[in-house]
Structure 1
C-alpha cells in the first residue's frame, strides 16, 4: 500500500503566524529574476541524484511495459512517474531561484533563522525523495510482476460524471472518494492537464483567488451595487465558470462594499476573522439574501455546484475577553442590532419576566429593553447565568444567519446542496464562546462540511510534550472526535472536507513527513465518514515557479498565507505522491470502506451543549471517555436530545453519560423517553445530570421505567466505565475478537468488523499507536479462521504484527 498527502495551513490559527509575516514587501518574482543563486548550480545532467532518478525512471518504464503486456493496471506507476518528472523540474527551478526560495522559507517564523540553509538544501532534498518514490514504485511493481502480491486495479474517478447519491458520491456506479487541492495554482484553466488531472485531482473550485483585497472570484458582497444591479465582470466570474468537472462554490464573507458602510456605520461591529460584518445587520441580510437567491438561480444545475455551496469559510465569533482573535477585531463589540436581538431572545427565554432575569443575573434592569451586556464577555463569568445566556444566544444567532443564507439560496436554486467549512475544533476543544453549534449547523446543511486537521509532530510553538505524544504516532483527537459526532448527528449525509489540514497547520509541518502517516490518517478520516477532501494547497505553476499569489508583496490580511509555501506539499514529492496513491487505494476498496462505515455504533456518549458552555474543561473530559472506547472494534457514537428525538433509538445499545453535570429539562426528558422505550442509560456519578443550565438542582431525576438505568457512584475508573458500557452492549459487539499487545497498557489499534453477505468478515486495522502492535485475531465462538490480506491477496497468520501507522484491510473466513 502507498501513502497520501494533503498539505494544509490551518489559516484560522492566524495569530500564531503573525511573526512569520514581517518584511512582506519584497517580491519573490523580482528576487528570482534579479538575484543569482549564492553558489553555482550544477547542470541537471551532472547531478548524481538526477542521473540516478533518470535511470530508475527508465527501469520503471520498462517494468510498466511488461505489466501492461500482462494486462496489469499501472495507474499507480504512472502517477509515480508523473510526480518524479514534475519534482525534478521543480528542483531545478528551486536551485536556479535560491534567493526566492529562501524568502519563501523566511515568511514562516519557525523556519526564518534557517531559511538560507533550507533553500540551499531543498533541490537535492526533492531529488532524493524523487529517488525514494521511484525505488518504492519499482519494488512494488516487481512484487506484482513476480506474483508476490496481487492488487486491484485503480478505480479511477470520472471527474466529469460524478453522481451525488443519497449518502455517498459515485463514479461509474461505484462509491468514490474525491480528492484534490482546495486551491490550485491560480489562473490556470481547467483545460490545463498539468494542473487538472488524476495525479493532482480535478475538482473545479468556483472561488479560489484569495487576494489581499476583498475582491475575488468567490461569491461576495462586492457583486451587488447600491442600485440593486450587479457588477457584471464580477458576476461573470461566477456564472461563466467552466462546466466540465464536478466542483463547488463558496460564499466569501470578508468584505463590505463602501456603499453599505456609508449607510450602516455599525456594519463592522461584531465582525469576525473571516466574516467582515455584523450578521444581524438588516442591510447585510437583505444584500446577501439577494446575492444568494440570484447566484443560486444563475448557477442552478451546473457541475460546479455538485459538491455544494460553501456558506462560509471557517465561521467563528469568539466573544470572550483576552482571546487571540481580538487582535483581528473579532467581536470587539456588538451592534445595536445584535443587542436588541439579544434582548428579544432573553424576553422569550424568561417568558417576559424581567424579575426572573434579574434574579438569575443578579442585576436590576427595569425591562428587557434596558438590558445591557459587555462584549467581549468576561471569561471569568463562565458557569454563571449571564455567560450561559449570552453564549446560547450567540449560537442561536449564527444558526439564524446561516438559515437565512440557505433559505434565500434555495429560493433561487431549490436543489442546492450546502455545507459550512466548520473548524472541527469548534467541537473538540473546550471553548464555547465562538457562536458555533456544530450539531445544529450539521443538521441545517445538506452536506457535512469541515476542514479537519491532524498532526504527525508537536506544534512548533510548544516546548513541552503533549498528551497524545505519550501514546500515539500522531494527533488524531480533533479529527476523530468531531467526525464521529458529526456522523452521529447526520449519518446519511455526504461529508466534504473542503480544506483538509492533515499534513500541516499554522504551527506544524515537517519536510520529511512520513508516507505511513499520510496513509493512516486518510484511511482513518475516510472510514470515519469523509467522502471528498481538498487538501491545502497546490501553489506551483507548471514550470515550478510560485503561483501568482505568492509573487509580489505578501501583505495578506490572512498572514498564514504568506508562510504557507514553506514546508508544504509543493516541496515534498514523497507526500504529493502519497496523497494520490492512498486515494487510489481507498477508491479501489471503496465498497469495502462504505460497508465498514455502515457498521452500527452500539455505544453512544451523551453530548450536552449545556455542559460544554458552562464548563471550562468539558470536552477534555469527554475525550478521555471517548478514547477509552475508541479501540474496541466498532465506531464510537454520540447521542443528544435531538438525536434521541429524531433518530431510531434501536441503532444503539446504550447511552453513557460522563461528567455531564449541566443539562436542560428538555435534555433530561429526552433521556427519560429513551428509558421509557426500553433503552439503557449508564450514568457515571450522581453529579451528572444534576443541574439545569443555570446551575440549579433538577427537581426530577431519571427513572428506569421500561429500560435499564445504571447509576454509578462516581468512584469507577475509566477502565471500569468501559467495562460497564461493553457489558450492556454485548449483542452489538463484533463476532471477531482482537487482542493487542504493544508493550504498554495503552491500546493503539483502531479496528472495525463487518460481516459480509457470504458469511466472511471484513476487518480494518489502523495502528495509531507509537509502538508496533502484535495482534491476535479469533472468532468469538472459538471456530478456527483463515485470514487474507486484501491489499496483497496473501494469506496471513491469525497472529500478525502491525507497525506504528500501519494499515491493514483483511478478509476473515471461518474454516
Structure 2
C-alpha cells in the first residue's frame, strides 16, 4: 500500500448521496445478467495472448500494451473471486445506486463477478485482434516508453523523463500489488506522504516521535506528492482555543481567521517540512489543501464568520471605503463607524448578488482565503525553498455561476508553483436533468476544458496536476458500463487541454482484493471495470509514445482571449453561462482559446495575442477598465459588445469609456459579428492553424475538437477528437495548399483518406503531408 500517515483521515473524502430521480434513470445499453464470462475462459485467453506476444517480440514488435493487459486481467480475476465471496457487501453498497441501473442491489451484486470476468475476456480478445493485425502488417505502432518514476523532473511546464515530455497516470489509494502482481509496473507508481495538525502533540510544537522516526527512515522513493490535511486538529489546540472550530470549513477543521490556525501551521511545518524537503515523494508538490471552499451562498456546507472573521471584515471595509457616510449610502445602512458593522447569518441570499453588500462580502471572503493560502505557501517555502506547491481546486467553482465559495481562482493559480485541481467530466447523471449538453455532446466537458484554458492563461509556465481525477466517477456520476471510447476520449482531451499528470479516483482495494472500506462510492467504480483501467493505461502509453507531438499541441499559442471579470462573475448570477457560450462558439475552430483579466493584461506577456473579446461583462472595477485602456494604448485590439464595461462593482455607471489610443477598438452589436471580426484579425496576422478541418454533420453544429501544428522539419500533425453524440464527416487539408494531402494515423500506422468519418468519442492523431503525385 502506498504509505500515507494516518490513512483513516482520508476517509473523509468519501461522501455519497442516495438521491435518485426515477424520471431520469439511465437507459442501460445492456443488463448485468447478460454477461456470461468465466475464469476458465479468461485464463484460456491469457494463454493465447502470451503465445502471440512471444511471436510478436521475435519479430521486433513492441508488446508493452498487451503485457499490461495480461497483468490487469490477472488482477481482476483476483478481484472477481473476492467479490464473488462477498456479495452481501456489494448488495449493501449497491443500495441506492441500483435504481440507476433499473434492477435490484441483489441482482447487481450477484452478477458483478461474472461481469468483471466477461470484461476481462473482452479486453483480452481485443489484444488478440491487435496482435494479429500487427503480425500481419495491417497496422503498426511505435514502442511505448517504460518510465522510471524515480527519475522524473521538470522542464518549465512539462514533466520530463529521458529528455522527453511524459504524461503520468496513477490512482488514489492504489495498492502496490494485487496478490503477487505488481501494480506499479503499468498503473502508476506515485509515492507520497500525508500529514496534518495532529502530528503536533504538544503546545510547544513537538512532533510525534514515531512519525519523526518514520520520516528519517523513509526512502526518497518515486516522484510523488505530499498531502497536507487540515480536517483534524490536536486536542491541546482545542483546549487552548475553545472557539477555534467556529468558522471551520468541510476540509479545514479550524477557522482560518483565528490566530490559532497560523500557530498550529507554523509548528506543524517547522517540524515536518525540514524532514521531507528534497525527497522525490515531494516533487509533484505539497498539496496545501484538499478541495477548499468556504461557502457563503447555496445550501451545502455553509461557513459562518467567526468574531475574528467579522473583525477582519470591518478592517477590510474601512480600507476599501474609508468614509462611513459613503459606505452607508452604498449599503443602505446607518452606522456611525466601521466598528459597528455587523452582518446577518449565512447563507447569503442570491438576491444580494449584484448589490454592494453582496459584492463586498464575497470579495472579502476571497481575499481572506487568498491570504490564508499565501501564508501556507510561504510557510512551506520557508523550510523548503525549492518546494512545488499546489491546491486541489474544484473547477466547477470557477466555471459555474456560484461565487460564494471564497476562491479567487486567478490569485490562487498565480500563487502556487503548480496548477492543482480535481477536474472531471460526466458521461451521465444519476439525478436531475434533462441537460442541454446531451442534445449535442457525448459527455459534459465544460468544467474541465474551460477551467484548464483559464489556468494556462494565468500561469502558462506551470505544470497542471490533477490530484483527484473525476473523469470516471463523482457524486452525481457512477456508471458500471462505461465504454472504453469515453475513457480514451476524456483523458486524451484533458491532456490536450493542459493536464500533465493525474491520480484518478479511485482504487480502494487491498493487496488480496478486499475493499479498503465499504462506502457506496466503491460499487460500480473503476475497481469493478477492468476495461476502463485497461483503456486508461493504453491511452497514456499512446500519449507517451507521441509525447513530443502532444506536448506541442498542448502548448499552442492562445491568440484569441476572452475577457474575464471577477467583478461581473460576482455580480451577475449567470455570468459564467455567458462566458461558456462565448468559449463554445470558438472552441471548434482549431484554436487554443485563452482568457484575459486585469492581472493577465498587466503581468503576462501578451505579444502572441491578437485580440481580446469582451462579451456580457457589464460590471468592471476602475482598475480593470484602466488595464484594458493600457492594453489599447500599447497597440492591442479589443472587440466588445454594447453591454459591457458600463458599471463598476457597485452598480454605478463609469464616467469613462475605452478609447482606441494606439490600438484598435471595435464595438459590435452581435456575437456573430464579433467572432467573425476576431477570426479575420487572426487570419490577417497569419495566426490561423497550419492545417484546415471542414466538418459536415446534421444540424450544422460542430462537434470535433482539433488542434494542429507544423514542426521545424515541415511536418504537419493534427489531433481530431469528436466529443459530439453523432458521427461527423471531416476533411483535412494544409492551409493555402490546394492539392490533396496524405494522412497517416500515427496511433496504428494506417493510411487514411483526407475525408473520413469520425465517430463519437473517437480520437485520431494524424500526420499530414502534401500529395505530390
TM-score of Structure 1 vs Structure 2, range by shorter chain: over 0.9
Q: Is the 8 A contact 1:105 1:111 kept in 2?
A: no
Query: Quick one: distance in 1 between partners of 2:172 and 2:13?
Result: 18
Q: CA deviation at 1:240?
A: 4.4
2:445 matched residue in structure 1: 476
The one of 748, 757, 781 equivalent to 2:712 is 757
Contact 1:223 1:234 in 2 (8 A): no
SS of the counterpart of 1:744? helix
Structure 1 position 576 matched with structure 2 position 517: no
1:795-814 mapped onto 2 (5 Å cutoff): 795-814=751-770
RMSD: 2.0
- In structure 2, the partner of 1:72 is 61
Counterparts of 1:301 and 1:652, CA distance in 2: 38
Listed as ranges, the matches of 1:401-420 within 5 Å are 401-420=372-391
Partner of 2:630: 673
Q: Determine the C-alpha separation between the residues in 2 that align with 1:14 and 1:675.
A: 49
1:592-603 → structure 2 map (5 Å cutoff): 592-603=549-560
Q: Compare 240-249 and 124-133 and name the one that shifted more.
A: 240-249
SS at match of 2:699: coil
Which position in structure 1 is the counterpart of 2:130?
140
The structure whose RCO (Cα within 8 Å, separation 6+) is larger is 1
Please report how far the alpha carbon of residue 17 of structure 1 lies from its aligned counterpart in structure 2 after TM superposition.
Answer: 1.6
In 1, the alpha carbon distance for the partners of 2:94 and 2:214 equals 33
Report how far residue 757 of structure 1 moved. 0.8
Q: What pairs with 1:639-678 in structure 2 (closer than 5 Å)?
A: 639-678=596-635
Q: Distance in 2 between matches of 1:302 and 1:256?
A: 26
Q: Are residues 744 and 246 of structure 1, via their aligned partners in 2, closer, same or farther at CA, if it must alter by over 3 Å?
A: same
Match in the other structure for 1:36: none
Q: State the shift of 1:814 in Å.
A: 2.4
> How many angstroms apart in 2 are the aligned matches of 1:18 and 1:134?
35
Q: Which runs of 5+ in 1 are unaligned?
A: 1-9, 21-46, 208-217, 551-561
Which whole-Å CA distance do the structure 2 matches of 1:361 and 1:729 have between them? 45
Which residue matches 1:306? Answer: 283
Q: Which residue of 2 aligns with 1:248?
A: 225
Question: What is residue 25 of structure 1 aligned with on the other side?
Answer: none
- Aligned pairs for 1:4-403 (under 5 A) are 17=17, 49-106=38-95, 108=97, 110=99, 114-185=104-175, 194=181, 196-207=183-194, 218-236=195-213, 240-320=217-297, 322-325=298-301, 330-331=302-303, 333-350=304-321, 352-376=322-346, 377-403=348-374
Deviation per CA, 1:481-501, whole angstroms, max 9, x where unpaired?
A: 100000111111011000000
Aligned-partner Cα distance in 2 for 1:577–1:132: 11
> 2:481 aligned with 1:512, yes or no?
yes
Task: Look up the SS of the partner of 1:179 in the other structure.
Answer: strand
Distance 1:696 1:743 in 2: 46
Task: State the alpha-carbon separation in 1 of the partners of residues 343 and 129 from structure 2.
Answer: 66
Aligned counterparts, 1:452-491, within 5 A: 452-457=423-428, 459-462=429-432, 464-491=433-460
Check conservation: 1:455, 1:502, Cα contact below 8 A.
Answer: yes
TM-score, scaled to structure 2: 0.93
Distance 1:677 1:470 in 2: 43
Residues 803 and 19 of structure 1, relative CA distance in 2, 3 Å threshold: closer
Give the match's secondary structure for 1:88.
helix
Using a 3 Å threshold, how does the CA distance of structure 1 residues 774 and 63 change in structure 2: closer, same or farther? same
Alpha-carbon deviation of 1:270?
1.4
How far is 1:12 from its partner?
Answer: 10
Q: Is the 8 A contact 1:455 1:503 kept in 2?
A: yes
Pair 1:535-2:504 in alignment: yes
Residue by residue, what CA displacement relative to the aligned partner does 1:579-624 show, whole Å, maximum 9, x if unpaired? 1111111111111111112211111100000000001011011101
| Structure 1 CA distance for aligned equivalents of residues 219 and 99 of structure 2 | 39
Equivalent in 452, 469, 478 of residue 500 of structure 1: 469
Cα displacement (A) at 1:195: 5.3
Secondary structure of the corresponding residue to residue 671 of structure 1: helix
Q: Secondary structure at the match of 2:607?
A: helix
From the superposition, tell whether residues 48 and 472 of structure 1 become closer, same or farther in structure 2 (CA, over 3 Å).
closer
> Residues 438, 130 of structure 1: CA spacing in aligned structure 2 closer, same or farther, 3 A cutoff?
same
Q: Name the residue aligned to 2:588.
A: 631
The residue number in structure 2 matching 1:554 is none
Paired residues, what number? 742
Report the alpha carbon displacement of residue 266 of structure 1 after superposing the two structures with TM.
2.2
The one-character-per-residue Cα deviations of 1:518-545 (angstroms, maximum 9, x if unpaired) are 1111111101111110011111223221
User: Measured at CA, do residues 228 and 710 of structure 1 come closer, stay the same or move farther in structure 2, by a change above 3 Å?
Assistant: same
Q: Report Cα offsets for 1:735-773 as digits up to 9, x if no partner.
A: 322110122221100001111111121111010011111
Change (3 A) 1:127 1:613: same
Aligned counterpart, 1:724: 677
Choose from 404, 407, 411 the match for 1:436: 407
Residue 703 (1) aligns with residue 679 (2): no
Q: Secondary structure at the match of 2:289?
A: strand
The answer to whether residue 578 in structure 2 is matched with residue 621 in structure 1 is: yes
Distance 2:697 2:320 in 1: 53
The CA distance in 1 between the partners of 2:209 and 2:549, in whole Å, is: 48
**CA shift at 1:74, angstroms?**
0.7
Contact 1:307 1:417 in 2 (8 A): yes
Determine if contact 1:510/1:567 at 8 Å carries over to the other structure.
yes
For residues 19 and 258 of structure 1, the distance between their equivalents in structure 2, rounded to whole angstroms, comes to: 36
